[in-house]
Amino acid sequence: MDEKDLIQKLKSGSTAAYKELYEQWVSRLYGFVFRYIKSEDATDDIVQETFLRIWINRSRLNPESSFKSYLFTISWHLLLKELRRQLNNPSMGEYIEYQNDLSVSEEYIESNIDFEHFRIALIQAKQKLSPRQREIFELNKEQDIPVADIATRLSINE
């Protein structure tokens, strides 16, 4: 059954159509929300509220309009509402202050020095590689390109 038929049935109160639309979209919607909110609980709440609003407002659905756009617009507004709530939370101010303090702390400076040592050692190690080995290393480790894609790109065996 195509999406327009499902939406038409949902408008008529079909729980089966609602469940099918839910199954089609819940994982993508969850991934979208989680990417911004980084909290499983908050993501669950937003996804649940989004689908609840779909059900409550089912009579206003337009089968000719994009269900995906409608669904993601609802969740986007709920996501913004949650982010505003989090920003206004007193603990957020404490967290921001902590982050500022941390940036000038001794540990932060020490980790920067450690990173600089690592960076120098990496440069020295890469200089010992042949140009082709260095190219492959940089593509894989620095640009995160899979070995299979590198092999294809450079016309070599994995």
Q: Are 28 and 20 in contact (CB under 8 A)?
A: no
Enter the pTM of the model.
0.57
DSSP state letter for 88: T
Determine the angle formed by the axes of helices 3-11 and 15-37, rounding to 10 degrees.
110
Instruction: Delimit the CATH 1.10.1740.10 region(s) of the chain.
Output: 3-88
CA atoms of 75 and 29, how far apart (whole Å) = 8
- Architecture (CATH level 2) of domain 3-88: Orthogonal Bundle (1.10)
Contact 46, 79 (CB under 8 A): yes
pLDDT value, residue 118:
74
- What is the pLDDT, as a whole number, of residue 150? 86
For residue 65, give the nearest of 117, 3, 21 by alpha carbon: 3
Per-residue pLDDT of the chain (158 residues; tens, 9 = 90+): 799 999 999 999 999 999 999 999 999 999 999 998 888 999 999 999 999 999 999 999 999 999 999 999 999 999 999 888 877 766 666 666 666 666 555 565 666 667 777 778 778 888 888 888 888 888 888 788 888 888 888 888 87
Angstrom distance (rounded) from CA 44 to CA 27? 11
What sign for the dihedral angle of Cα 19, 24, 25, 28? positive
